[in-house]
Amino acid sequence: MRRSRDGLSTAEVGERTAAGRVNSVPTATSRSAGEIIQANVFTLFNAVVGGCFILLLVLGQWRDALFGLSAVSNSLIGIIQEYRAKRSLDQLAILQAARNMVVRNGAREVISSEDLVPDDLVLLNAGDQVTADLLLIGNSPLEVDESLLTGESEPVPKQDGAVLLSGSLILAGNGQATVLRVGPETSAYRLAAEARRFSLVTSEIRRSLEKVFTVITWLLLPVALLLTNAQMQDQGGWGGAMGSGRWVPAVVGAVAGIMAMIPLGLLLMTSVAFAVGGLRLARQKVLIQELAAVEVLARVDVLCLDKTGTLSSGSMVFDAVHHTGDVCPPGWRRAVEWFGASPDASSTAAAIGAAFPAEIPLTEQDSVPFSSARKWSSVTFAPESAAPGTWVLGAPDSVLGSPGCGKVHGMAVALASTGLRTLALAHLPGPLPPDAAGTDLPPELVPVLLLTFRESIRADAAATLDYFRRQGVTVKIISGDDPRTVAALARGVGFGTGTAYDARTLPGDPLLLEEVVESQDLFGSVTPSQKRDLVQALKRRGHTVAMTGDGVNDVLALKEADLGIAMDSASPATKAVARMVLLDGRFERLPAVVDEGRRAISNIERVSLVFLSKTVYATVISVVTGILLLAFPFLPRQLSALDGLTIGLPAFFLALQPGGQRYAAGFLRRSLTFAVPAGTCTALCVLAVSAYGQLWGGHSLASAQSAATITLGLVAAWILVMASRPLNWTKVLILAGMYAGLVLLFSLPLTQDFFRVEWPPSGLLAVSVAVAVAGCLAIEIVGRFTRRPSTPARGTGLGPLALEPDSREGDGGTAGQRDGPAST
C-alpha cells in the first residue's frame, strides 16, 4: 500500500487504468433489449394468434382478422413494461455523481470518482462522499455517516488504519486516505450486484392470467383440428373440397372458434386498469415504476418499515433538560446557546441551536473542539461574562467520569436505555488544565444537567400506522439502529410498549428465524443481509410483504419484498430497485395507494368474469360443434363485433370505475367459479338456437348465424350486468350504450354488410330471444349461488366477486380521507 505524500505518478495511474483497475462498474442487467423483445413476441400464444392472423390475410379475409390488433397490443405492453424496469435497473447507482480531491505527482487535483485507481491518495473533508473503499491514514480522526450502508444513524468515529466504505459520508474532520478497492470490488457495488438482478413484481393476477393463457394455448390445436374437420364435413366433405374452394369458409370457421377461446382483451384491460391507477397516484406524488405494483399493495398483509427516513426524518430534535441538582450555576443557558451556535456538522448541534437560539453568542476565551477520541467539547468564558468558567458538553461516559458523579451517571444510563440520545453538561469555575485537551477531564468538574434528544418523527407516521392496523396489516419496524432507539421511536408513534429484538442474536436456522420474525414486530441492529433474510422468512410463512426504506442498506430487502417502496430521500440505488416511490416523502400517501390498489384489483376481477366467461362458452361451442360436425355459429368478424359491444368497450369503462374492497386471495378460483357455469349456460343457449336454425328450422346459414349472434349478445350482456352490480348511473349508461349498439349492429346497412348480419325471420328471432331470456335467468341463479355475502365498499360492490368487505363504514370518500391521517 502506497503512503507517499506525493501520491501516484502519471505513469502509475496509466498502468492501473490500462489494466482496467478504475472505479467504474458495469450496469447491464440480465436481459438485453433484444432478449426482452424475443421473450414477449416469440411465444406459443403469439405464434397461434399470429399464425391465424396471417392465414386470414393470405386468404383475403382481412375483415375477420381484427383480433390481431389485440395480440400486437399485448406484446407491446409486455415489452414496454419490462424495458422500463430494465432501464431503471441499468441506471442503478449506489454513489451519487461525485468528484474527489487527490494528490498525484505531488500536486492536488480534482478528478471524477470514476477515475480513481488503487493506491490513489485522497484528501477528505467534512461533507465529502466516499466513492471507493479507502484506508484512512494519519492521526486526524473523522466522524462518518454509514447509515446508507448499515442503517445505523449514529455517526461512527474512524481512526488511523480504519476502512472507509464506499457510500458513506464524512460528517466532521479532515484527513487523508489511500484507495483500497475500486469498481466491482467495493462494498457499495457488492451490495448492489444482487439488486441489479432483473425480476418483475410478484402479481397474483398476472400469475393467474398466465395459467389461463397456458391452458388455452394447449387446447387450441386439438380444438382447431376438431373444428376444421367439422367445417369441411359441413361443406361437403374433404373429397373434392380443394377444387371447389369450399375449404376457405371451413378455415374461417375454425379460426373463429379458436380465436373466440382466447381472452385477447383481458391482459389489455388489466394493463389499462393498472396504468390508470398509476396516473391517479402520480397526481398524488406517488411514482409507480411497474404497473402490477398497484395490485400488490392491495393484498399486502405485512408492511416492513425502515426507521430512519420512513418513520423518522433522520434528523435529531431536542427532547428535554434534566437538572442534576437543586442549584445550577448561572449562565448554563448561555453556554448551551454557544454550543448550538458553533459551526458543528452534527445533527445534535443543530438540534441544540434550534431549541436554544442565540441572537448574539457569547465570546469565548478558549474552546476545545469535539473529537471522537475525547467525545466532548468545551468552551471557557471570562469571569465577568454571563456564563463565567468552563463548560464541557459531551457523552456522559466521558464527561461524568469523576467519583462524585455516580448518581448523575445513573440518570444518564436510565435515559439512554429509553433510546434517547443523551449529553451531559458539566461546569468548572476556572479554565481547564493545560493537559485536559487530551481525553481526561479534571475531577473537580461539576455535573450541571443532562440534555436528551430524539429522532424527528414524521407527523403523519402515527396516524398512518394506525390505519394499517385497522386494516389488518401487520407492521414491523426493521432498523439498523440500536434496539433501544428503535423501541423509543416505536413508542413515540404509538407502536407497542416493549423492547426491540436485537438482530445480533437472530438464529441462523431458517425455521427458528421464521418463528422469531412472526412473533416480533421491532428489530434493531439489523444488517442489510439480515433485512433481506427477515423478508424472505416472512414470505416463506405465506405473507405478502411490502418494504419501505431510503438507504442503500435497504436495497436487498426492497428487492426481495413483494413490493418495495422508496421515500423521496432515498439513494438512487434504492429508488431504482423500488417498485413505488413516494416523491414528496409523505408517509400518509400509503393509505391512498392501498385504496387505489383495491380499486384496480376489484375492477380487474370484475372484468375478468366477462372475459373468462367468453373463453368458457367459446371453448364449449367449439368442442361441441367439432364433435357433432356442425357449422360454427359465427364468423370471426361477428364475434369481434360482439366482443367490442359486450366485452371490450364496456370492460374498458368498468376497469376505470372508482371504489374497491379489501382483497381476499383466490382471484382465479373466484372468477372461474362464476365463469365456468355462466359460460356453459351461454354456450348451451347459442348451440340450441344454432341447431334449431340450421337443422330443424330450415333457415339459411346466414340467418342461423345472425340468430346465434343475437342470442349470444343478449346473454353475454347479462353477464356484464351481473359483473357490474350494484349499478350506478355511470354503469347504467354503459349498459344502455351496449344494448343500443346491439340494435344498431343489426339495423345500419353499413354494419349489416361489413359484419354479415341481418334480422332473422320472426319465428327464429322469437326463439333466439326466448332462449336468451332463459339463459339470463340461469346466469342470475348462477350468480346468486357463486357469490359470498359481502358488504360493498363505497357503493361499488362487485356482484359475484368474493371480496372481503372493507372494515370501514359509511359511504363516499377514499381510504386516505376517512381512515388515513389526512386527506390525500
Distance CA 477, CA 440 (A): 39
Cβ neighbors of 530 (< 8 A, separation 6 or more) are 503, 506
| 460 classed as catalytic | no
Distance CA 213, CA 87 (A): 28
**Residue 61 CA to chain centroid, in angstroms?**
45
Distance CA 224, CA 214 (A): 16
Distance CA 630, CA 479 (A): 68
Give Dmax over CA atoms of the chain in angstroms.
122
Strands (E), 324-394: 366-368, 376-381, 389-394
Between the two ends of the chain, the Cα-to-Cα distance in Å is: 56
Distance CA 280, CA 282 (A): 5
Angle between helices 762-786 and 701-724 (to 10 degrees): 30
- DSSP, res 351: H
For residue 534, which of 192, 304, 196 has the smallest C-alpha distance?
304
With beta carbons less than 8 A apart as the criterion, state whether 811 and 797 touch. no
With beta carbons less than 8 A apart as the criterion, state whether 400 and 448 touch. no
With beta carbons less than 8 A apart as the criterion, state whether 790 and 569 touch. no
Q: What is the per-residue burial (b if ≥16 Cβ within 10 Å, else e) of 608-642?
A: bbbbbbbbbbbbbbbbbbbeeebbbbbbbbbbbbb
**Residue tagged active-site, from 128, 133, 306, 344:** 306
Distance CA 276, CA 684 (A): 37
With beta carbons less than 8 A apart as the criterion, state whether 821 and 588 touch. yes
Amino acid residing at 302: V
Length of the chain: 824
SS (H, E, C) 135-179: EEECCCCEEEECHHHHCCCCCEEECCCCEECCCCEEEECCEEEEE
The residues annotated with a catalytic role in the active site are 306
